[in-house]
Amino acid sequence: MSLMVKIRTGPAALRRVTGRGEDFVLPSICALRTRSIATNAAIQEPNVDFPAGVSSVPVPQKDNVMDRKEAIKNAKPFSDFLTDTFNRQHDYLRISITERCNLRCLYCMPEEGIPLSPPANMLTTPEIFYLSSLFVSQGVTKIRLTGGEPTVRRDIIPLMQQIGSLRPKGLQQLALTTNGISLHRKLDAMVEAGLTGVNLSLDTLDPFQFQIMTRRKGFDAVMKSIDRILEMNKLGANVKLKVNCVVMRGLNAREILPFVEMGREKEIEVRFIEYMPFGGNKWSEGKMIGFQEMLDIIQTKYPGFRRVPGHKNDTSKTYEVPGFVGKVGFITSMTNDFCGTCNRLRITSDGNLKVCLHGNAEVSLRDVLRQGNNGEPIDQEAFERIKQIEMDRHQGRVSDKTVLGWGQRERELLHVVGAAVKRKEEKHADLNDLAKMNNRPMILIGG
């Protein structure tokens, strides 16, 4: 008796299923995927032609309800190290991977630029990967790479590939915040490395105004990056695109409606951000346009503009114009904070942990990480030595076992992280106090 299994082929063979749905993958994976489909089809969902007189035999199916109950029963409690005194669980980590940027945006840094930190002070790729692994082991499910401008880092693709390898360990999302200048040249490789989302900063749709606000050219390159993401999404890349616009009175307030109308036929979420005070950006309350004023401007033209449900940890309030494909969000840090549901932590490019974007308290993870390496940056060679120790522990040759096998150094890092998280305030300072507070320029924090 021969069994003929019918296997679907076509575009679906170019995808694999992960925690976020259908993911765009490298063609080299397709053969493995096809074999997997064949195996699963034969075992779970057979479509078999039997000879006359031979009845089919039901294939046993797993009890999905029991599986879910078992998963809940065995689920680990969320890490105490990443839970603050207000019971906020921090499962979202933003890592700045460079201080450098190819723009000079008005709200981000002083016109003269900033003094760059010595290279030895910056986190190396192995250090970023290790810290990513450590936080994922404690329950972080989303990592966002920021800057500066992260795409100017030369080894960003290998770095993303390494972080993307943490998916089996619990990482669900790998995102990027970028100005889009050079994104279109690297986007394909990033998607293959596991990129799931892009927040693209764009404060004007006028090429001339773009030069004024960024002090550089590059508008066409940014639009090319947006178009490339949308094009790849039609092919199944499934990269969530958000366009971030910092609204400033007298500069780009008149463009609120044109930005909303970007979403008429394009699957884009445009997010309007209230102008926030940071070191060197000459913030003033008069330049800031609040959420309610922006809402009034939009509803005057689109009376049906309405709020839509979002996730409890969203930084933005999400709205839609009925009939539009895209969405509109508002990040209201100045007039209506969202501190009560904050689940974000930040690591600066020089290795400091910030538990609040608007707080000036920082603690160095880099210095703890480099203990045992004479305070020197951990390059790939040093990292391989540490990995060997980890393997030895895994095989029982070293008894000082920890989650990642880094022993005392790992415990000390978690202690520093946990103590910082426990010191996190219930909410950041109010608008007037923020304006007077000493804080890094935004470019040194990470967007």
Q: Which residue has the higher pLDDT, 126 or 429?
A: 126
Q: How far apart are CA 445 and CA 350, in angstroms?
A: 10
Burial of 21 (0-12, 13-18, 19+ CB in 10 A): exposed
Least confident of 68-72, 118-122, 268-272, 357-361: 68-72
Q: Two tokens at 271?
A: 């997010």
Least confident of 56-65, 216-225, 335-344: 56-65
Domains of the chain (ranges, CATH numbers):
1-56 (no CATH), 85-360+423-445 (3.20.20.70), 377-422 (no CATH)
**60 has pLDDT over 90:** no
If we measure between CA atoms, which residue out of 351, 282, 334, 331 comes closest to residue 109?
Answer: 282
Find out whether 134 and 414 touch, Cβ atoms under 8 Å.
yes
Q: How far apart are CA 171 and CA 151, in angstroms?
A: 21
Angle (deg, nearest 10), helices 219-234 and 207-214: 110
Mean pLDDT, range 81-103, rounded to an integer: 94
If we measure between CA atoms, which residue out of 314, 352, 343 comes closest to residue 331?
Answer: 314
If we measure between CA atoms, which residue out of 296, 285, 297, 299 comes closest to residue 335?
Answer: 285
If we measure between CA atoms, which residue out of 20, 349, 312 comes closest to residue 156?
Answer: 349
Find out whether 200 and 168 touch, Cβ atoms under 8 Å.
no
Residue with tokens 């078999």: 48
85 pLDDT tier (thresholds 50, 70, 90): very high
For residue range 152-192, list pLDDT tens digits in order.
999 999 999 999 999 999 999 999 999 999 999 999 999 99
The three-point CA angle 194-138-359 to 5° equals 90
**76 has pLDDT over 90:** no
3-state secondary structure (DSSP) of residue 96: strand
Find out whether 443 and 148 touch, Cβ atoms under 8 Å.
yes
Strand runs (DSSP E) across 216-315, as ranges? 240-247, 269-274, 306-307
Q: Two tokens at 331?
A: 């990040």
Give me the count of residues in the chain. Answer: 447
Check residue 49 and give its pLDDT.
38
Q: Which residue type does 390 have?
A: E
What does the mean pLDDT of the chain come to? 80
Buried b (16+ CB within 10 A) or exposed e, 378-399: beeebbeebeeebeebeeeeee
16 pLDDT tier (thresholds 50, 70, 90): very low
For residue range 261-300, list pLDDT tens digits in order.
999 999 999 999 988 765 555 656 678 899 999 999 999 9
Check residue 11 and give its pLDDT.
37
Q: Which of 34-43, 223-232, 424-433 has the highest mean pLDDT?
A: 223-232
Local structure of residue 265 (DSSP, 8 states) = T
Q: How far apart are CA 364 and CA 180, in angstroms?
A: 30
Q: Two tokens at 257?
A: 């409606």
Check residue 442 and give its pLDDT.
63
For residue range 244-260, list pLDDT tens digits in order.
999 989 889 999 999 99
